[in-house]
Amino acid sequence: MPEVGLLAICPVSHPPFLGSGLSLLFQALFWSWMPGAFWLIYVESRSPQSTSWLRLALTFVAGGLSVGGVNLFHSLVEVPEPAHPVGLLLYLCTVVGLLEELCKLSAVLLVAWPRRDFREAWDGLSCASSAALGFATAENFTYVLSAGNANILLGRSISATFAHVAMSGIWGYALGLYRQRQAGPLVVVEAIFWSAVFHGLYDWFLSLPWVPGALLVFGGLIVVFRQRLQESYFTSARRKAPSEVVRECQSCRTLGRCEYAFCPNCGASSWIEPSRCLACLAECSAQADHCPACQRPLI
């Protein structure tokens, strides 16, 4: 089932430059990569280290080429799209969602996994995002050609392109934890499962079409991705200055660094003040340079 962005199913007025006299092929080539480039720069601006642009370029290209795996599957296996809503949901979660996520995963495993700089959760999240953006860019190109104009990118650039990133970020984060030996292979399998479920639900709501449901899924993906992005940043061993000041989660009593907006254990955003020194748990200010009790440097 073709995916569309949230704005693509709503009436909008399109800028005149998208309807210029340029050839359709040139418009597709020029405009299809721009949403992916924007979101790629956004993700990498949160990086705890200097960005390896070669790795990003390789995973981006591999992700784009992985669309061929989807096309190959559908050319070899003909799976009819069910008319019943429940059957359609299962179809979108498996034949569409799971298949596409596995293709993006294969791109990361082929290009990024063997590299020596793929070591932790951030690497998994970054490479999964890059592969997803390459996949979405290739999809954008094919959709522009099939639709006959570039206006469809107005909706996809805001919603569908980033949805690909957020969905793949779920298993990318888990893959990085597995490489870091902080999670087992079953965690990666579970993450792929949830990525496929979110993927299928998003497409299902758009196909009904029921925009509020798609917006709900999209909002949930944003929250999950932002949390994973934050966790992978603050737990990265490559950060130059990790905080030594912690707070206690009001929900589960887990300690989390003061930079965390969400608890790394339960995901809650309610913290118990005041903040404390990570070494001796004495009360201290988040802006202090040293702990007043043990004199440990906090920055």
pLDDT for 194-246, tens place per residue? 999 999 999 999 999 898 999 999 999 999 998 898 888 877 877 655 578 88
Question: pLDDT tier at 20 (50, 70, 90 boundaries)?
Answer: very low
Give a yes or no: residue 260 inside a domain: yes
> Which of 138 and 262 is assigned the larger pLDDT?
138
- Confidence (pLDDT) at 191: 96
In three state form, how does the secondary structure of 14-78 look? CCHHHHCCCCHHHHHHHHHHHHHHHHHHHHHCCCCCCCCHHHHHHHHHHHHHCHHHHHHHHHHCC
202 and 168 in contact (C-beta within 8 Å)? Answer: no
Residues 24 and 151 in one domain: yes
Is the same domain home to 64 and 40? yes
Phi, psi of 142 (to 5 degrees): -70, -35
Greater pLDDT, 296 or 23: 296
Closest Cα partner for 127 from 163, 161, 175?
175
- Out of 182-191, 248-257, 277-286, the most confident range is 182-191
The answer to whether residue 33 is domain-embedded is yes
Which of 35-39, 62-66, 240-244, 279-283 is the most confident on average?
A: 62-66
Q: Which residues contact 169 (CB under 8 A, 6 or more apart)?
A: 125, 128, 129, 132, 224, 225, 228, 229
CA dist., res. 167 & res. 196, Å (int): 8
Q: Are residues 43 and 66 in the same domain?
A: yes
Please state, in angstroms and as integers, the Cα–Cα distance from residue 90 to each residue in 177, 181, 197, following that order: 29, 33, 9
> Does 1 fall in a domain?
no
The share of the chain scoring above pLDDT 70, in percent, equals 83
Q: Looking at the structure, do residues 99 and 201 belong to the same domain, yes or no?
A: yes
Question: Do 88 and 212 lie in a common domain?
Answer: yes
State which residues form the domain around 253: 243-299
Q: How many domains does the chain have?
A: 2
**Is residue 2 assigned to a domain?**
no
Query: Which residue in the block uniquely carries the two structure tokens 């179809």?
Result: 91
In a domain, 59, yes or no: yes
Does the structure show a pLDDT above 80 at 27? Answer: no
Clarify whether residues 255 and 168 are in a common domain.
Answer: no
Question: Cα 44 to the chain's mean position, in Å?
Answer: 12
Q: Is 196 exposed, middle or buried (0-12, 13-18, 19+ CB in 10 A)?
A: buried
In the prediction, which pLDDT does 217 show?
94
Specify the range with the lowest mean pLDDT, choosing from 30-44, 91-105, 116-130.
Answer: 30-44
Pair 14, 87 in one domain: yes
Residues 60 and 154 in one domain: yes
Query: Same domain, yes or no, for 207 and 250?
Result: no
CA atoms within 13 A on the CB side of 168: 34
H/E run at residue 245: strand 245-249
Cβ pair 171, 101 in contact under 8 A: yes
Confirm if 201 and 210 have CB atoms less than 8 A apart: no
Residue 58 sits in the same domain as residue 154:
yes
Convert the pLDDT of each residue in 257-286 to its tens digit.
887 777 777 778 888 888 888 888 888 886
Whether 202 and 166 share a structural domain: yes
When comparing pLDDT for 192 and 9, which is higher? 192
The alpha carbon of 297 is separated from its chain's Cα centroid by a whole number of angstroms, namely 35
Q: Is the pLDDT of residue 11 over 60?
A: no
Whether 107 is covered by a domain: the verdict is yes
Last residue of a domain, one of 185, 205, 234: 234
- Is residue 89 assigned to a domain? yes
- 173 and 221 belong to one structural domain: yes
Residue range 151-182, pLDDT digits in tens: 666 666 667 888 999 999 999 999 999 998 88
Task: Return the half-sphere exposure (C-beta side, CA atoms, 13 A cut-off) of residue 236.
Answer: 25
> How many alpha carbons lie under 13 Å from residue 61 in its C-beta half-sphere?
6
Which of 191, 214, 234 corresponds to the end of one domain? 234
Amino acid identity at 131:
A
- Phi and psi at 272, nearest 5°, equal -95, 125
At residue 53, the pLDDT reads: 84
Last residue of a domain, one of 234, 253, 285: 234
Vertex 259, ends 254 and 262: CA angle to 5°?
A: 50
Mean per-residue pLDDT of the chain: 83
- pLDDT value of residue 287: 72
What does the pLDDT average to over 10-19? 42
DSSP-derived letter for residue 277 is E
Whether residue 147 is contained in a domain is answered as yes
Looking at residue 17, what is its pLDDT?
42
